[in-house]
Amino acid sequence: MLGVLAACIVTAGALYRLAPSLTVVEVYAPTAKASSATPLCPWRKSEEDMKVFFPGATHYDTHIAILSERLAQLKARLGRWPRPEENPFYIHDVYADNRLLGRVALQRVKGEFGAIEVVLAVDNFGAVRGLRLQRLREPDVTARVLQSPQWLHSFRGQDQSSVLKLGVDVPDVPPVAKKSATAIVEGVRSLLVLLDEASQTTARATARATARRQDKHH
């Protein structure tokens, strides 16, 4: 018994001596590594999409942005409260070796005939690089319009400051596809806002951590 007690005292003493070097620098990190849980809207053809959106991409890294502290801003910008699948928000950072090429995010939107899954790729400045509909159950005539390269390419270059309205930034579509097209446009706008808020949150957290570290040094 005494032996165990002595061992405890010795270990505690050693830990106390080592304490400064073991101190964990407190960093508020609003992003976390993706858990093994599958998001409601997973990136289904990641390899193919990466090649199309970011030629030369070697890999991607998924992280989860926690946007809880930005709920009020999100509500104001989205015009609605974020849905549960938008917070936590899954972001896929695409790299060429160690160089960040851009990001990919996904969103489910309510199409006229079923859910539509939107894959959006943005560059490092938050401008749209590419868009793909990875899942939809629209009738052929609607699907053809929505998946036409011209219409999808019209999103290129749009960013979070764009108005993003059918017939304004994005070409209008025939009436048959209007409802689903509007949903897609709104989905893209939401994704751009979410990505922007996520990057702002990360930047703020990094600044806070740096400031805290500097305070500690002083």
Q: Which residues bind another protein (CB under 8 A)?
A: 1, 4, 44-45, 108-115, 134-135, 137-139, 143
Residue 208 Cβ, how far from another protein at the closest point, in Å?
A: 36
Residue 108 Cβ, how far from another protein at the closest point, in Å?
A: 6
Three-state helix/strand/coil letters over the chain: CHHHHHHHHHHHHHHHHHHHHHCCCCCCCCEEECCCCCCCCCCCCHHHHHHHHCCCCCEEEEEEECCHHHHHHHHHHHCCCCCHHHCCEEEEEEEECCEEEEEEEEEEEECCCCEEEEEEEEECCCCEEEEEEEECCCCHHHHHHHCCHHHHHCCCCCCCCCCCCECCCECCCCHHHHHHHHHHHHHHHHHHHHHHHHHHHHHHHHHHHHHHHHHHHC
Residue with smaller CB distance to another protein, 40 or 127? 40
Residue with smaller CB distance to another protein, 101 or 104? 104
Residue with smaller CB distance to another protein, 110 or 208? 110
Residue with smaller CB distance to another protein, 20 or 84? 84
Residue 85 Cβ, how far from another protein at the closest point, in Å?
A: 10
